Amino acid sequence: METQDLLAKLDEETKDNISKVLWMHEFNAEEIPDEIIERLESEKNSNEGFGERMQYLLREKLKNPDSFTPNYKNVYETLIKHSKSLTPHQAYAMTFFLGMDSSKGYKSIPAKADFRIPQDDAPQWDYQLGWHFIVGSCIGENGKEYGVQFMFWQYALLPPEIAKHFGLSDIENQFIELHLAVSEAGGKHHRSKPLAIAGTTGLIDYSNNPFDYTLGKNKIKSLSKDSTFPLQIKGWGVDLDPDSGSEIEVDITLTQTKEYLLQGKDGCDPCCGGVGTLYYSVPNLRVDPDQSILRINEEEVSLKIGKFWYDHQWCNGMLPAGNPRIKVLRAANNMNKKAAGGWDWFMAQFKGDRELTMASIHSHEMLHFLNQTGTNPPGTMDAEVSGKYVDEESNSKKVKGTLRITKWIRSEKSQDPDLYPITNVWYPQEWEFSFGEDVPEDIRNFIMIPIVSVGQSGFFANGLHYSEGAVYLKDPEGKSIGRGFAESTGYADPILNRLRLAGLPATEEMRDELEIPEPSSWLKLISFLYILWPSNRSKLKELLSNCVDTL
């Protein structure tokens, strides 16, 4: 295919994502390797190919609905009408309008985690969703402090058997986002828009021993065999904010000082009926000063010290919410209220090589703090948090505490306002924590304060707006006791923008048409009667005894 033909075939946003992951400011087919050009030209990578596969998926769901699940016939028939031709990004965004049967067909989450380290650090292609997430704080030779966020967010567009039906390899079936941000303490927050790439482009690759995971020129790479660490992260992006546009780059090597931390219940957070999350972390990663730099525009900074944190998770039924693969659990779900949506996640790395990782899932009591766009910020929000405390010897234990939010910041920026409109939603800007005797006294009560005052929000390519950034840890008297990271999601309603991203009319009418129906009174009744049957009641009790501790 001639260069001009390729330019005409690809939409502008796809070309921009391709150019950015190859570290080019503008798309130039002449500078793209021939093997990538060949993949870009392929039928698998065509808009018609993505549309055909989406329509096949939707029709399969119509033919084979899950039991004890609302009827999604109207939703799926509407999506079929609008999915004949889809860009890769549109196909990805459209998956977030699927119903609770969206989790069907992926490899089941096991009832118990049985990790093989370091093999399981590899991306897990057969599950619905996964990510490699690396964040931390560091100080440069110039004396400045920086916060860094780096993540590969991976989604399997089709269940594996359907992907095989279309001749797609495991990697060709993936859609990956790069999230990259650098905050300058007391200054600016620089964030690239999410760079969103389909595996059919040939720009995603992975090899093992040593671990080498690439998205164009961006990478997560082990520097030794038989061990994930030392680990290099390498990324580049452009902040398109018209007020503070910038080019950012990181090339950071991290060394391991602590053992892997199994989150939740031995790595299940939770694992229940084939859905849930497998999740572990590595805290207290140290910056290698001989192999670590970051760059903001023309200023390249050698890093001398820093502490980072690594999370690896893979899951089914999280985004979008999905059904368990066991009927009695589906029936039981119909008795529950629909989740409020969203969460707040935190990691804290204290002086003395001690860490806390914790999360608070949004409850219905928090709804009046969400989607707030008024002139005044919300009031004080109180919530419970739970997670793990890790001592200096890598011993860990479950902890519970309380969170109070009294300070908020309005999100008035976007890294690409045309694609991700500004939400003007209020987000938390300071967090106060209190724990009991399970946590050492000197860090039992502390405050998280962002290292920048301008906000640290961004977007996922599925339209989800979130805040993520480095924070100072201070005791109640204001004394510095460490560094951490704070993440908040679900404060802004993503649906209208998600409709746009999926190539659908961004109207209230379309929103209503694609609203996932709640269980009807009849469905609730037959679910209740099914659960009451003695053998089903016993099975449910046994299943929940293995799940409930981690919910």
Report residue 126: phi and psi, to 5°: -80, -10
What single string gives the DSSP state of each residue in 476-507?
TT--EEEEEEEEEESSS--HHHHHHHTTS--S
Which of 494, 523, 496 lies closest to 507, judged by CA? 496
Q: Is the dihedral of CA 408, 409, 410, 414 positive or negative?
A: negative
Q: pLDDT (tens digit, 9 = 90+) per residue, 96-111?
A: 999 999 999 999 999 9
Q: How far is CA 169 from CA 120, 132, 173, in A?
A: 19, 21, 6
C-alpha–C-alpha distance, residues 373 and 492, integer Å = 9
Identify the H or E element spanning 168: none
Q: pLDDT (tens digit, 9 = 90+) per residue, 123-155?
A: 999 999 999 999 999 999 999 999 999 999 999
Give the angle 217-414-293 at the CA atoms, nearest 5°.
40
Strand 275-287 to 343-350 pairing: unpaired
| In the block, residue with structure tokens 């996932």 | 516
How many other CB atoms sit within 10 Å of the CB of residue 249?
18
Mean pLDDT (whole number) for 465-478: 97
Whether residue 150 contacts residue 180, with contact meaning beta carbons closer than 8 Å, is answered with: yes
pLDDT the model gives residue 337 = 85
Mean pLDDT (whole number) for 67-96: 97
pLDDT the model gives residue 110 = 95
Q: What is the pTM of this model?
A: 0.97
Q: Return the DSSP state at 265.
A: B
- Under the phi-then-psi rule, with left for phi > 0, alpha for psi from -120 to 50, and beta for the rest, what region is 273? left
pLDDT the model gives residue 8 = 74
Q: Is the dihedral of CA 58, 62, 64, 70 positive or negative?
A: positive
How many other CB atoms sit within 10 Å of the CB of residue 384?
12
